Amino acid sequence: MHPSTSGNAPENINTDNLPLICDRLAAGIKPFAEVLRLYGYPPLWQRPADLPTLIYIILEQQVSLSSARAACERLEQRLKPFRPEDFLELSDAELKTIGFSRQKTRYSRLLCQTVINREFNFETLPFLDDESVCRQLQTIPGIGPWTCSIFLLMSLGRPDIWPNGDIALRSAWQMLTETDQSPDHQAMQKAAENWRPYRSVAARLLWHYYLQKKGIRL
């Protein structure tokens, strides 16, 4: 069942419209109503649309949220303020102690060099459509569809982004629907089609449920 909508989806998700859209989704989709009943509205989890955020998302790839956050905090302590030139001065050994794998070290160095060379400009991204943002981001090694989706959803506030392949979303939906097996990526993407044009808010509801059930604090 598609959530009822009136007019077009908002340009971005913010603290004012997030509760209203949650209510709209919950009115037509029982699992989302259960999330609100149990845990209330999810946080916005808004992040700046900048270089540190994109490196943070790279750190989050295929690791636990707590590990990524700890690495990010160590990096923030090491670089104040965060400048790409200073990041490049950190040795591979230093980045390893912070929490960077060899691959993530390479990806982050290439990203910083791209910014230094002015081959990539974060300031232009808010003015581009979703597809154009992803096309630009994915010219940088190590940045794929999931990373683009998280950046669009949390940094640019886009309303209809689905980060397909996100394990926490799959786990949350399995728990909410009380199914024996975790849905695969294709099944989740198909389910998410029913949540347009607010898939970004559906993702926030599922993450909220997952974190609360697991007792994870961010």
State the chain's mean pLDDT as an integer.
93
78 CB contacts (<8 Å, ≥6 apart)?
A: 90, 94, 98
Higher pLDDT, residue 167 or 3 = 167
What's 202's domain CATH number?
1.10.1670.40
pLDDT at 6 over 60: no
Same domain, 90 and 179: no
CA dist 81 and 78 (Å) reads 9
pLDDT tens for each residue of 132-170: 999 999 999 999 999 999 999 999 999 999 999 999 999
- The number of CA neighbours under 13 Å toward the Cβ of 98 is 24
Decide: helix, strand or coil at residue 184. coil
Same domain, 89 and 173: no
Distance of CA 51 to the CA centre of its chain: 15
Lookup result for tokens 């990010």: 72
CA dist 161 and 158 (Å) reads 7
User: If you average pLDDT over residues 20-42, what whole number do you get?
Assistant: 98
Annotate 69-91 with b (16+ C-beta within 10 A) or e (fewer).
Answer: bebbebbeeebeebebeebeebe
Q: Are 109 and 58 in contact (CB under 8 A)?
A: no
pLDDT of 20: 97
Range in 8-12, 66-70, 143-147, 185-189 the model is least confident about = 8-12
CA dist 197 and 189 (Å) reads 14
Q: Are 108 and 100 in contact (CB under 8 A)?
A: yes
> Where in the sequence is the domain holding 67, given as residue range(s)?
51-155
| Total-model pTM | 0.92
Instruction: Please say which residue of 155, 179, 198 terminates a domain.
Output: 155
pLDDT tens for each residue of 55-104: 999 999 988 888 999 999 999 999 999 999 999 999 999 999 999 999 99
Burial status of residue 94 (CB atoms within 10 A of its CB: 0-12, 13-18, 19 or more): middle
User: If you average pLDDT over residues 1-26, what whole number do you get?
Assistant: 77
CA dist 209 and 215 (Å) reads 10
Same domain, 85 and 61: yes
What's 121's domain CATH number?
1.10.340.30
Q: In this structure, what DSSP letter does residue 171 have?
A: H
* Residue count (the chain): 218
Q: In this structure, what DSSP letter does residue 41 have?
A: S
Higher pLDDT, residue 122 or 8 = 122
Same domain, 33 and 56: no
pLDDT tens for each residue of 172-182: 999 999 998 88
- Count of structural domains within the chain: 2
Same domain, 85 and 170: no
